[in-house]
């Protein structure tokens, strides 16, 4: 009978595991430390949410914390351990943002409508404060703590109290001077006269309430040394949900749309956030200040995106084809020079080109046009041309790289067969190379369209959307595309920030890009028949 050979070293000795593994002591310690940090942060967030009574977010945060601990403390489930961080950040930075934007689109959230009704009532009463005639003078010292200014007030009877705009007056045991005026308080720093003058604007804005009820009045100072009693000129009746002007008798009632309004249509400046349904979407197409500019902006956005894609692709393909010749000397140097614009940050390039195209002292006018005053960025037509040219300069290197790679991947046998059949270079390019090229670059062209459809940097840095339209009070201009228009509505300095309308327009942009991309991808399937 044949004898079995003795087992070798590999069969007799188990292989040692080296390094830190999930099952090793160091791996277990690392897991405990990391989970401890996560749990500590989760506890801090939970306490904050509990104090703010954010119950829905508190439940969600607690559930996520428990899920993370379950994933990493249980045995097995290795794929979940790798996927959990990515899914977590995807939900936070993508899904949540989309869901919240969708929610905001159906509200009146914006300037004057950014909180609850109770906060709005409070703000209205504080903003309507007027000095009480013949009110006693309080001697005050200005204190500072943690960057906030406080009033240390001494009333006519000698009582001392301290408070700030967000902290009602409360009794204080302060140090007084020879006249009985409180001047120092432990834990605070007393401002000297020069510091009071340097911070005069902020100090004059300090309004210290007597209590949590704004109708009890507040203290304000006009010189940093004396303060007087102020009370609101508007009285709120919680039972009827109305404000009454104590001087004129005008009544402001709750309209049900997040604001108080009088019988003659006058609204109080501060409102609150409410659901408005599809009002933001209808406003985009019914409000004359938005509708007329919106139609022009939509047309220009499509023009900008399509022309940018076609021009950058055409120039990039031309240069890629020109520098793809096998016997071209210095080919690498030329290619490096071609991609230099791609290395510039888009926002920085926009600022540089803005200076180059300046009509008075820009390099383009002074060098190429003899100092002529050509309004490259202030004339509606020239501004659009300038934007397209600058975007061409920024975008063609990407297409150059893509087309270079695609051309180099084409089989050489195709060119040899075309030459043998007597096809010219142009015929070979248009009938063979270009169709084969489009098979691989068509998805990138669609992606480039989506990018240019929302190309915020080049518009904002070069023209800031200008020149402005004359037929609207909104801060919208001839070179604005949809995304810069949304930015101006949400964060601009025009008629006011309207986050609800901006979110509604963002949803419209998403739908437009999604439809165009879906149709384009479907059409590109026809190109696959070439293969």
In the prediction, which pLDDT does 319 show?
93
In the prediction, which pLDDT does 505 show?
94
Q: Is the pLDDT of residue 161 over 60?
A: yes
On the 0-12 / 13-18 / 19+ scale of CB atoms within 10 A, 268 is buried
On the 0-12 / 13-18 / 19+ scale of CB atoms within 10 A, 370 is exposed
Lowest mean pLDDT among 7-16, 122-131, 221-230: 7-16
Peptide bond into 407 cis (omega under 30): no
Q: What proportion of the chain, given as a percentage, has pLDDT over 90?
A: 57
- Mean pLDDT (the chain, rounded): 88
User: Span 286-530: which CATH code?
Assistant: 1.10.3720.10
CB 27 within 8 A of CB 75: no
- What are 356-365's contacts with CB under 8 Å, separation 24+? 357/386
Residue 7's pLDDT band (cuts 50, 70, 90): low
Give the tokens for residue 100.
Answer: 């919240």
**110 secondary structure, DSSP code:** B
pLDDT tens track for 239-294: 999 999 988 999 999 999 999 999 999 999 899 999 999 999 999 889 888 888 99
Q: What is the DSSP string of 361-392?
A: T-HHHHHHSTT----TTTSHHHHHHHHHHHHH
Query: CA 175 to CA 184: how far, in whole Å?
Result: 5
Q: Is the pLDDT of residue 393 over 90?
A: yes
**419 secondary structure, DSSP code:** H
pLDDT tens track for 111-148: 889 899 999 998 898 888 889 988 899 999 999 999 99
- What are 433-440's contacts with CB under 8 Å, separation 24+? 433/407, 435/527, 435/530, 436/410, 436/530, 437/317, 437/403, 437/406, 437/407, 437/410, 438/524, 438/527, 439/527, 439/528, 439/530, 439/531, 440/406, 440/409
In the prediction, which pLDDT does 242 show?
95
Give the Cβ contact number of residue 231 at 10 Å.
19
Q: Is the pLDDT of residue 224 over 60?
A: yes
Q: Is the pLDDT of residue 381 over 90?
A: yes
Do β-strands 226-232 and 234-237 pair in parallel, antiparallel, or remain unpaired? unpaired
Q: Is the pLDDT of residue 214 over 80?
A: yes
In the prediction, which pLDDT does 269 show?
86
133-234 fold = Periplasmic binding protein-like II (2.40.430)
Which residue reads 């992606």 in tokens? 447
Residue 1's pLDDT band (cuts 50, 70, 90): very low
Residue 11's pLDDT band (cuts 50, 70, 90): very low
Give the tokens for residue 433.
Answer: 């190379």
């Amino acid at each position: 009978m044949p004898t079995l050979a003795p087992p070798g070293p590999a069969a007799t000795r188990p292989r040692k595991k080296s390094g830190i593994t999930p099952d090793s002591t160091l791996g277990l310690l690392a897991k405990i430390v990391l989970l401890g940090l996560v749990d500590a942060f989760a506890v801090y967030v939970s306490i904050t949410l509990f104090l703010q009574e954010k119950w829905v977010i508190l439940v969600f945060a607690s559930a996520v914390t428990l899920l993370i601990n379950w994933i990493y403390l249980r045995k097995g489930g290795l794929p979940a351990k790798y996927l959990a961080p990515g899914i977590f950040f995807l939900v936070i930075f993508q899904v949540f943002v989309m869901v919240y934007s969708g929610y905001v689109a159906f509200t009146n959230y914006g300037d004057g409508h950014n909180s609850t009704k109770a906060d709005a009532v409070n703000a209205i009463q504080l903003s309507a404060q007027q000095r009480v005639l013949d009110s006693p003078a309080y001697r005050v010292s200005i204190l500072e703590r943690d960057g906030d200014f406080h009033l240390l007030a001494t009333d006519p009877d000698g009582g001392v109290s301290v408070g700030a705009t967000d902290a009602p007056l409360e009794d204080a045991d302060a140090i007084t001077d020879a006249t009985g005026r409180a001047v120092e308080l432990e834990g605070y720093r007393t401002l000297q006269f020069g510091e009071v003058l340097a911070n005069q604007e902020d100090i004059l804005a300090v309004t210290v309430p007597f209590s949590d009820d704004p109708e009890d009045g507040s203290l304000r100072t006009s010189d940093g040394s004396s303060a007087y009693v102020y009370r609101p000129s508007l009285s709120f009746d919680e039972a009827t949900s109305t404000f009454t002007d104590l001087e004129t008798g005008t009544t402001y009632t709750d309209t049900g749309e997040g604001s108080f309004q009088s019988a003659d249509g006058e609204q109080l400046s501060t409102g609150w956030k409410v659901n408005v349904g599809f009002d933001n979407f209808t406003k985009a197409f019914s409000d004359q200040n938005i509708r007329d500019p919106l139609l022009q902006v939509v047309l220009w956005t499509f023009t900008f995106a399509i022309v940018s894609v076609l021009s950058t692709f055409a120039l990039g393909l031309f240069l890629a084809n020109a520098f793809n010749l096998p016997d071209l000397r210095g080919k690498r140097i030329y290619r490096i020079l071609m991609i230099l614009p791609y290395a510039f940050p888009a926002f920085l390039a926009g600022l540089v080109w803005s200076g180059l195209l300046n009509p008075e002292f820009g390099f383009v006018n002074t060098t190429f046009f003899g100092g002529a005053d050509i309004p490259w960025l202030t004339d509606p037509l020239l501004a659009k041309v300038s934007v397209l040219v600058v975007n061409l300069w920024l975008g063609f290197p990407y297409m150059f790289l893509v087309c270079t790679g695609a051309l180099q991947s084409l089989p050489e046998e195709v060119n040899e067969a075309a030459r043998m059949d007597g096809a010219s270079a142009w015929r070979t390019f248009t009938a063979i190379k270009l169709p084969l090229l489009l098979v691989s670059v068509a998805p990138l062209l669609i992606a480039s369209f989506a990018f240019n459809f929302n190309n915020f940097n080049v518009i904002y840095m070069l023209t800031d959307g200008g020149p402005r339209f004359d037929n609207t009070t909104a801060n919208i201009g001839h070179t604005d595309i949809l995304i810069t228009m949304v930015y101006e509505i949400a964060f601009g300095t025009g008629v006011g920030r309207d986050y609800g309308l901006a979110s509604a327009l963002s949803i419209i942009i998403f739908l437009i890009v999604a439809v165009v991309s879906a149709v384009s991808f479907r059409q590109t399937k026809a190109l696959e028949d070439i293969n």
